[in-house]
Structure 1
Amino acid sequence: MVGDILRALFGGGGNVVAETAEVFRVNAEAADARAAGMQRAALDQMAAEFGTGQRGVFDRVVDGLNRLPRPAMALGTLGLLGSAMVDPLWFGERMAGLALVPEPLWWLLGAIVSFYFGARHQAKGQAFQRGLAETLARAPQVLATVEGLRALRHDSPGAADPGPDARATLAATAPADNPALAEWRAGR
């Protein structure tokens, strides 16, 4: 009778106690496996969305042209400051011409520059996210490599364990001649 009760609780291909406990509390191992699967799926989706492909000549030329406005604006501003010192009259004429530009045109210029830098910021942000996704995808491999290297340290447990090799154990524990120690003892 006791055997039948124990078989009913623990035998027969299913564990009634564990199955009953899982009704009231989540199986931690299964929950961790689901969470890891969801994280892996999210990383795969992100890597597919921001996937890197071969870029053609046109794409590289356009990227090069997109990089020109910021340095051109910075160098142009420095050039204006330099021209103000070299030829103040020429600089004054140009600034008087700029004073005639109507205010709506200044607003339009501000909007164009803002959109340019906003788009550039978004493109850089997406490139950053792509790089982050690639880095996170490599994290488990790096962690395994680091753990493997740490296991090789001289002070890690079992690093010098000879295992079942009896000759290595005897060679490691047998005293050996030490010429430096013998010379030191002779000098005392």
Structure 2
Amino acid sequence: MGLIESLFTALFGSGRNVVKETVEVFRENAEAAGQREAAAQAAALEQFAREFGTEQRSGFDRFMDALNRIPRPAMALGTLGLFIAAMVDPVWFAARMQGIALVPEPLWWLLGAIVGFYFGARAQTKGQEFQRSIAATLAATPGVIRNLSALQALEAGAGERAANPPAAEPVAGTGPNAALEDWRAGR
């Protein structure tokens, strides 16, 4: 027993834990790390409270903070409004987009730079891609108008056309399918 007792005394005796101290050299003590993290968070919250405390803020500061919070929600809600407008009245929406198509290129670059500085450089790239997609959507507007008028005619029960809709036109570049013809011949 003397050997084991002296070994345990060497490892854990005199108020020290040599194994624990050795392990903490290689692995962080989770409890101590949690205490340090809590102290850091408390210090950060205290700093924010001092910096953004309402007792020392002027009316102008509060107004500017409110003004800085407007653009993102306004852009998000405005975009949703554009989607709703496009669904409610596509022709009205297409007319507005035609007006946007007349905006000169330098003005688009200026708007892209302003939004880019406000939201980050990524917004400029996405904005230019969005502009190209708007042009493609506007090019499809006449087809959408034809489809809407055909749907309205169907809904109104416009006689022969409602009962016998026109046959679908084949997609350009498609011809007879040789594999399908062989399959049909084999049946």
Scaled by the length of structure 2, what TM-score is found?
0.35
Scaled by the length of structure 1, what TM-score is found?
0.35
